[in-house]
C-alpha cells in the first residue's frame, strides 16, 4: 500500500516516477538564506518555525523528502492538488522559491512521534506490513520502507506524521477529493474508517 504525504500535508501521499522531474527537483535552487528565511516565515502559522509539530491538522514538513515537497508545491500551484489556503500561499512563488523551501524543510532531522491508541496498533501494523489480501490492499511498507522513511524522489516519509493529518489525507484520497495520485485513490478507496484510523495512528509512532 502506498501512502503519500503527507504534506501536507502532508500526508499522506504521491509517488514521483519521472526521471526528468527528479533531475529538475535536484537542481540547485537559486535562492539565498535570507530569502529562505523570509519565505519560511509565512509557513510558521500552520507548520511551526521549523516545520515540525505544529497543529495536527497540518502536515509535518521537517525531514520530508525535498523532491516530494517540491512536487506537492508545484501541484498546488498548478491546481492538480486542491487546497484553497495552500493554493493562495504558493501562487506568488517562483520555481526557485519552491525548491528553496523544499530544501529548507527537507534538510532538517525528522522528529519522532507517538501512537495514541494501543488497542488499534496491531491492526495498523498489520495493514502497513502485510496489507489486506482479500481486498488486494498492498502493504504500505513495500513503497514507504519498513520504518516509514519512504524513498527519496518516489514515496514520502510517513513515520512520525500527525495521525489527524494522515487520516484526513487517506479520507480525501478515498473520496476522490484529493486526486493527484491515482494509485492512492484506488488503495484508499478499499479501506474502511477503522482501518484508516488504525493505520494513521500506527504511522504516527512508527520509527
At 32 the pLDDT is: 78
pLDDT score of 31:
61
Q: With contact defined as beta carbons under 8 Å apart, do 157 and 51 qualify? A: no
CA–CA dist 172, 184 (Å, integer):
10
The dihedral formed by the CA atoms of 160, 164, 170 and 176, expressed in degrees to the nearest 10: -140
The DSSP bridge partners found for residue 137 are: 132
Domains of the chain, by residue range, sit at 1-207
- CA quadruple 28, 33, 38, 41: dihedral, nearest 10: 90
Q: Which three cell numbers stand for residue 15?
A: 509517488
Handedness of CA 35, 41, 47, 48 (dihedral sign): positive
Closest by Cα among 68, 200, 48 to 111: 48
The pLDDT assigned to 18 comes to 37
What pLDDT was estimated at residue 134?
Answer: 97
The pLDDT of residue 29 is 54
Q: What is the mean pLDDT of each run of 10 residues along the chain (207 residues)?
A: 40 37 48 85 88 88 95 96 96 95 92 95 98 98 97 91 97 97 96 98 97
User: What pLDDT, on the 0 to 100 scale, is given for residue 55?
Assistant: 86
Fold of 1-207: Cytochrome Bc1 Complex; Chain D, domain 2 (1.10.760)
pTM of the predicted protein model:
0.84
Amino acid at each position: 500500500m502506498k501512502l503519500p504525504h503527507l504534506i501536507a500535508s502532508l500526508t499522506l501521499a504521491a509517488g514521483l516516477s519521472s526521471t526528468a522531474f527528479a533531475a529538475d527537483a535536484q537542481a540547485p535552487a537559486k535562492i539565498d538564506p535570507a530569502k529562505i528565511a523570509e519565505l519560511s516565515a509565512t509557513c510558521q502559522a500552520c507548520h511551526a518555525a521549523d516545520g515540525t509539530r505544529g497543529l495536527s491538522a497540518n502536515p509535518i514538513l521537517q525531514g520530508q523528502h525535498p523532491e516530494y515537497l517540491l512536487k506537492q508545491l508545484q501541484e498546488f500551484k498548478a491546481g492538480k492538488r486542491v487546497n484553497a489556503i495552500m493554493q493562495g500561499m504558493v501562487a506568488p512563488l517562483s520555481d526557485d522559491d519552491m525548491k528553496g523551501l523544499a530544501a529548507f524543510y527537507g534538510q532538517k532531522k525528522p522528529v519522532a512521534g507517538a501512537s495514541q491508541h494501543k488497542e488499534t496498533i496491531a491492526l495498523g501494523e498489520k495493514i502497513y506490513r502485510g496489507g489486506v489480501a482479500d481486498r488486494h490492499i498492498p502493504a504500505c511498507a513495500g513503497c514507504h520502507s519498513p520504518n516509514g522513511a519512504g524513498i527519496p524522489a518516489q514515496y514520502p516519509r510517513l513515520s512520525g506524521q500527525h495521525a489527524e493529518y494522515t487520516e484526513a489525507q487517506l479520507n480525501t484520497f478515498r473520496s476522490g477529493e484529493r486526486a493527484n495520485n491515482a494509485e492512492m485513490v484506488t488503495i484508499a478507496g478499499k479501506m474502511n474508517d477503522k482501518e484508516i484510523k488504525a493505520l494513521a495512528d500506527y504511522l504516527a509512532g512508527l520509527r
